[in-house]
A and B are shown apart, each in its own frame.
Chain A
Amino acid sequence: MWDGGLVMVDSTVTRAQLSEAVYNEVGLSRNESADLVESVLNEVGAALTRGEAVKISSFGSFSVRQKGERIGRNPKTGDEVPILPRKVLVFRPSHILKNRINQSLTGSP
């Protein structure tokens, strides 16, 4: 029945699905599986915070890039505002992942 479009198929994968996948794969409790997903994310985050790049073979690599200060503009008012130097995280997908995605979604490598 039409319900105003509020209900849609939610196909977003979240922590819950990652924990469930670990739970199904390894003989651990659901709680422990969730904790381990958290530990993995924390270790990756900690390495990046230390300034290390994180390379996961056949998936991709995460690295931290230092950005210099530049002048930005408030798009609403047009005012010039300095954008302070900051660190940004970049993800570079591996060729394997890119090829898998393209084969499946566009039918070409």
Chain B
Amino acid sequence: MTKSELIMRLAEANPHLYQRDVERIVSTIFEEISNALENGDRVEVRGFGSFSIKRRDARAGRNPRTGDAVTVSEKCVPYFKTGKQLRERLNPSS
């Protein structure tokens, strides 16, 4: 499912809304999550999951093609942890 398919589904389920409003709702949600992560904040949506930032220290890496040593500078990566309820939905038997 792509973002536009998600918008289509929501528009079908909410015929009283303009499609452009549905688009703005979906964009706002993901933009709000992105903004929080950009500020270094955590996002916690119970039942769905949480987003946080993990810091990766600078390290000595290697160009896998040439074998040359390169330094990889410190970086931050977004991390998602699946919420309990969603994990259980994915694994109904256990």
Give the interface of A toward B (CB within 8 A).
11-15, 17-18, 21-22, 25-28, 33, 36-37, 39-41, 43-45, 47-49, 52-57, 59-60, 62, 64, 84, 86-91, 93, 97-98, 100-102, 104-106, 108
Contacts and interface: CB of A to CB of B under 8 A. Distances in A.
A58 B74 CA distance: 23
Interface size class of B (residues with CB under 8 A): 35 or more
27 contacts: A11-B41, A12-B41, A12-B42, A13-B36, A14-B45, A14-B46, A25-B24, A27-B21, A28-B21, A36-B14, A37-B25, A39-B14, A41-B47, A44-B1, A45-B86, A49-B90, A54-B1, A56-B6, A57-B2, A84-B94, A86-B91, A89-B80, A89-B90, A98-B78, A101-B37, A105-B38, A108-B73
A59 to B, nearest CB: 5
B34 A105 contact: no
A37 B94 CA distance: 28
A27 B20 CA distance: 12
Given A101-B77, A108-B73, A21 B42 contact: no
Given A43-B6, A54-B1, A93-B78, A106 B38 contact: no
B41 A13 contact: yes
A1 to B, nearest CB: 26
Contacts of B1: 43-44, 47, 52-55
Contact of B86 (A18, A43, A48, A106): A48
Given A22-B25, A54-B1, A13 B14 contact: no
